[in-house]
Amino acid sequence: MKSFQPYRAGQRLPLEAGVALRLSVNPRARRISIRIDARAGEAVAVAPSERRLPDAVAFARSRSDWIAERLAARSAGTALVPGATIPFRGGTAVLEATGGAGAARLIEGPDGVRIASGGEGEAFARRVVNLLKRLARDALTVRTQVHLNALGQRPVTLGINDPTSRWGSCSPMTRSIRYSWRVVMAPPAVLDYLAAHEVAHLVHADHSPAYWAVVHRLVGDHRPFRAWLRQHGADLHAVGR
C-alpha cells in the first residue's frame, strides 16, 4: 500500500507570526534548504524529492525566527514613478516624465543616467519595464552568443521573463534559455556571469564540479558574482513592487 504523503510541492503552510512557507521540490538539490522569496513575501522550503518534504517542513519550523527576521528585513518595493531612482547596470537611473504617450528611452549624459518616458501611472511604469526588458534582451543576447561561441555550442532560443526569484533557466533538451529582465539592473559583469551560468548548463545540466569548471572557464572566479546576487537580488526584485 502506498504511504500517505502529507505534503506536496506548491503547498503553502503557516509558520509562526503569520509567516507563509511554500514547499518546493528540486531534483537537482543535494540537500534541504530554505530561501526567502522577497517578491512574494514568503519563505520557500526546497527538498530534493516529495518524500523529503516533511524533513523540509521540520527544518523550516526550526528556523522560523530566522525566516521572520529575513522577511522583515526584505527590501520595500520601489515604485516606477517619475522622480524615482532605480538600480541600473550597477549604478542608478532616475525616472523622468516627458508628457504625452511616447515610449521610454535611455538618456546617458554627464549628469548621470535617466530613463524618460511618456504615460501616466501604470502606463508610465509599463513603458519603463518594456525599455528595461529590451535592454536586457540586447545585452543578454550578445553575452549568450559570446559564451556559446567559446564552448562551440549551437544557437539557442532566448527568452526574457520575470520569475519570482530565479535569474535564469536552461533547457538543454529544447536548447532554450530564459532570463529575468531584472538582471539588467545589476553590474554588467554579473549579467555576463548569468549568461555564462545558463550556457554552461548546455554542457552539464547539474551543478557538479565539472559544471562549475565550465563556468570558471568562461568568467573566471564566479563567487563574487553569486555573492552580489545574494546580497542585492532582493533589491532588484523589489523594483516596481
Q: What is the model's pLDDT at position 64? A: 85
Which segments of the chain belong to CATH 3.30.2010.10? 85-238
Contact (CB, 8 A) for 162 and 182:
yes
Q: What is the model's pLDDT at position 197? A: 97
105 phi and psi angles, rounded to 5 deg: -140, 150
User: 198-218 burial, b if ≥16 CB within 10 A, otherwise e?
Assistant: bbbbbbbeeeeeebeebbeeb
Output the CATH code of domain 85-238: 3.30.2010.10
What is the number of alpha carbons within 13 Å of residue 235 lying toward its C-beta?
Answer: 15
Q: 225 to each of 74, 190, 202, how far by Cα in Å?
A: 20, 5, 20
Q: What is the pLDDT of residues 163-208, one digit of tens each?
A: 877 899 999 999 999 999 999 999 999 999 999 999 999 999 998 9
Q: What is the pLDDT of residues 153-163, one digit of tens each?
A: 999 999 999 98
Q: What is the pLDDT of residues 93-138, one digit of tens each?
A: 999 999 888 999 999 988 899 999 999 999 999 999 999 999 999 9
User: 157-192 burial, b if ≥16 CB within 10 A, otherwise e?
Assistant: ebebeeeebebbebeeeeeebbbbbbbbbbbeebbb
Q: pTM for the full model?
A: 0.74
* Residue percentage of the chain with pLDDT more than 90: 65
Q: What is the pLDDT of residues 15-74, one digit of tens each?
A: 876 678 999 999 888 889 998 876 677 889 999 999 999 999 999 989 888 888 777 766
Q: What is the model's pLDDT at position 35? A: 86
Q: Which residues contact 240 (CB under 8 A, 6 or more apart)?
A: 77, 78, 79, 80, 125, 129
